[in-house]
Structure 1
Amino acid sequence: MSPLPVSFKHVRRLTDDTGLLEHALGFIPRRKEGYSTDDQARALWACLEWLDYAEGAEADMLCELIDTYLSFLQWVQRDDGHFHNNIAYDRTPEDETPSDDCLGRCLWASALAMVKLRDRDRTMAAIDLFEKALPRIDGMRYPRGWAYALAAVALSIRHGDPWRLTPVLETLAGRLTDLYRRHAKADWLWYEPVLSYSNGVMPWGLLCAYEATKREEWLAVAKESLDFLIRLSVNEKMHVRPIGNRGWCTPGRRALWDQQPIDVMKLALAVSKAYGVTGDPKYADMARRCRGWYYGDNDAAVPMVDAEEGACCDGIGERGANRNKGAESTLSFLLTEVLWARMKGQ
């Protein structure tokens, strides 16, 4: 096995003995911004995916990071199974309303850890996180949280837990498809009246559900909505143009700027899964374009990544790239890279 084709130097720089720091000035960690549980779940996810390609010292390094992120998730999981998301640098929880997105991400990361980890103690920790969080799914109200939880449950079903979790999967997939039927029109094939952030996660969740059950209705909705998202996510050069955070997208207008790496990663996540499910080469081509966005095939025509550091700029605005390189953007790059590596290996 060859050395990892990506660097975890910046991830290691951002990680201390508590967890992964959320923000950076340039690539220097901004400790006063503290930690986000969202980022610990993303980091756990990225390390688990790249662990398949690592050996020796690199595998040991990834396992050390995995231990840190698992420990963080155990620490912030409340007695009721939910996860506190925002933690100050002095390790005190900040005031917040519980986040469905955070719960869903933690469910997905812990489910992936249950499947991928072979060490008994690490697996036991992942199972404990997942089982405590599972009862909280019923109270989730927002579609991105549903989608993450749906992917987590589908993965668990595919790896040996169908009877207990199939009703949960059917409920979550039903919520997403009902939402789609409520809002979709001939010229707006989407789950909500606005295209906002992390859009690709919703078709991805349904594709995961289809993969576990072969329910054709879920595949049809996933493909129809994903194809619509793809049409709105490229520019005139056919480079990826994610929905800008400064105003989002409605049938009447579309924000161009404050493009976020995480939105590109979520599109890559959806099209990679769609390619794996359908074999349609248009989805593989779109995954290639998502990867290209990080290397300069974007509206600013600038590379977003520092490959030697394994770091990614935080976004694109009118003046070009935001040179700060925080956790979310860096992990989005690393996850897009591993999605591409897996597609090339299929």
Structure 2
Amino acid sequence: MPKRKIELTHLKRMTDDTGIVEHALGNIPRRGEGYATDDNARALWLTCNWQHRIASDPAMRGEAEELQRLAEIYLSFLCHAQQLDGHFHNNYSYDRSPEAEEPSDDCFGRSLWGCAVASLNLPHPDSRFAAATLFQNGFRAAEMLKHLRGKAYTLAATSLLLSCNNELSHLPRFQNFIREQAPERVEALEAQLLTAYEQNADGDWQWFEPMMTYGNGVLPWALFHSYQVTGNSDALLIAEETLDFLIDKMTGEEGRIRPIGNRTWCTPDHCDHWDQQPLEVMKLALAAGQAYAALSNPEHYLSVIKRCRAWFHGENDLQQPLADFNGGCHDGLEPSGMNRNQGAESTIAYLMTELIYASSREKVLSKA
């Protein structure tokens, strides 16, 4: 089956020889606002996975080579951002100098995930070695994580490397490191997510926290990943329950996806619907994609992925497409209209949703 083409025009517009610029004015990069390691980790993840997916297709050789070039830029950024203690500094000015900040668990977890994906999927062995080295250097700092989303990304990354350990034979030292060090970390992080659920779930509130805020899909997504390693039936059950709960909270009239709004978020008493951000839709598609792979009744989750993709193309509360023909994506929906800016986070969220959708379609056809 021919692979679905990815439109890279805006991603390339936002990327220079340092990394991907964080913000845009319209579709023009706002260089004065600098870079975020968060976005470069996301971009590394996107480009690695899409390059790996199309690499065997001779008709897409040029696109695969361009994705590899971009991935190496983003990996280099992570190399620059990693500190001596293993953490990743997040915010950088346009001259590449670090801005003052407190360490971010979210940035750390996303960066580890990006490195894990790159260590498996980048085509050049020395690039895979670089990604593995960054992961290993950061691994020791994972025990200091305090926040759930950073823990979730780290859990998913470590579980991924364990479940794909045989694919690390080109990095024997790293392969042995994962075999020896990762199982204990996976069990500990999985237990922490399950404990958070037990402490906060109550009656009709099936969630890990007293309030649903941002990037919610990453929490059940991580448990689906850890289940593949631990076989913990509680992890699978809670992943499914919380994902179904999230789907319910993110479904509006006529079955359209309606992201949890970032003004006052969602509590047992009230769920805000504005403003709506593309990241929330991508994270829902991400969790649904993992559920599709893990559960025996996947059709429901395939429908969710389709509706997430449709949200970007106009099946949303404002009935306006956020994605454009250059592969860019507007930064969100507000009651007064669409945010016209096309920043890195939103653009990557859209392109990642397209990747999840394309991958899920291929899985359906392979089962037919």
Percent identity, aligned pairs only?
46
In the TM superposition, what whole-angstrom CA distance separates every residue of 1:40-69 from its partner, at most 9, and x where no partner exists? 000000101110125321111111101100
2:159–2:186 Cα contact (<8 Å) kept: yes
Determine whether 1:338 maps to 2:355. yes
Q: Give the aligned partner of residue 198 of structure 1.
A: 215
Q: What amino acid does structure 1 have at the position aligned with 2:266?
A: C
Q: Give the aligned partner of residue 295 of structure 1.
A: 313
Mean alpha-carbon deviation: is it higher for 239-248 or for 109-118? 109-118
SS of residue paired to 1:321: strand
Deviation at 1:279, TM superposition (A): 3.7
| Alpha-carbon distance between aligned partners in 1 of 2:125 and 2:76, rounded to the nearest angstrom | 15
In the TM superposition, what whole-angstrom CA distance separates every residue of 1:96-136 from its partner, at most 9, and x where no partner exists? 00000000000100001111123111011101110000001
Match of 1:284 among 298, 302, 320: 302
Over the residues paired in the alignment, what is the CA RMSD in angstroms? 1.1
Deviation at 1:87, TM superposition (A): 0.2
Deviation at 1:309, TM superposition (A): 0.8
In the TM superposition, what are the counterparts of 1:10-21 in structure 2 within 5 Å?
10-21=10-21
Match of 1:126 among 121, 128, 131: 131
Gaps of 5+ in 1: none
Mean alpha-carbon deviation: is it higher for 141-150 or for 208-217? 208-217
Gaps of 5+ in 2: 166-177, 364-368
In the TM superposition, what are the counterparts of 1:91-102 in structure 2 within 5 Å?
91-102=96-107
Q: Give the aligned partner of residue 76 of structure 2.
A: 71
Q: Give the aligned partner of residue 283 of structure 2.
A: 266
| Alpha-carbon distance between aligned partners in 1 of 2:22 and 2:159, rounded to the nearest angstrom | 29
| Alpha-carbon distance between aligned partners in 2 of 1:321 and 1:162, rounded to the nearest angstrom | 47
In the TM superposition, what are the counterparts of 1:191-340 in structure 2 within 5 Å?
191-280=208-297, 281-306=299-324, 308-340=325-357
| Alpha-carbon distance between aligned partners in 2 of 1:222 and 1:4, rounded to the nearest angstrom | 29
Q: What amino acid does structure 1 have at the position aligned with 2:305?
A: A
In the TM superposition, what are the counterparts of 1:140-151 in structure 2 within 5 Å?
140-151=145-156
| Alpha-carbon distance between aligned partners in 2 of 1:285 and 1:57, rounded to the nearest angstrom | 32
Q: Give the aligned partner of residue 37 of structure 1.
A: 37
| Alpha-carbon distance between aligned partners in 2 of 1:162 and 1:340, rounded to the nearest angstrom | 32
**Count of matched residue positions in the alignment of Structure 1 and Structure 2:** 345
Deviation at 1:2, TM superposition (A): 4.6
| Alpha-carbon distance between aligned partners in 2 of 1:236 and 1:60, rounded to the nearest angstrom | 42
In the TM superposition, what are the counterparts of 1:54-93 in structure 2 within 5 Å?
54=55, 55-93=60-98
2:162–2:182 Cα contact (<8 Å) kept: yes
Give the 4+ runs in structure 1 shifted more than 3 A. Answer: 1-4
Deviation at 1:4, TM superposition (A): 4.8
Deviation at 1:251, TM superposition (A): 0.8
SS of residue paired to 1:20: coil
Q: Give the aligned partner of residue 169 of structure 2.
A: none
| Alpha-carbon distance between aligned partners in 1 of 2:314 and 2:327, rounded to the nearest angstrom | 15
Q: What amino acid does structure 1 have at the position aligned with 2:127?
A: R
Q: Give the aligned partner of residue 366 of structure 2.
A: none
Q: What amino acid does structure 2 have at the position aligned with 1:31?
A: R
Determine whether 1:7 maps to 2:12. no
Q: Give the aligned partner of residue 118 of structure 2.
A: 113
Determine whether 1:53 maps to 2:54. yes
In the TM superposition, what whole-angstrom CA distance separates every residue of 1:249-269 from its partner, at most 9, and x where no partner exists? 111111111100000000000
2:187–2:230 Cα contact (<8 Å) kept: no
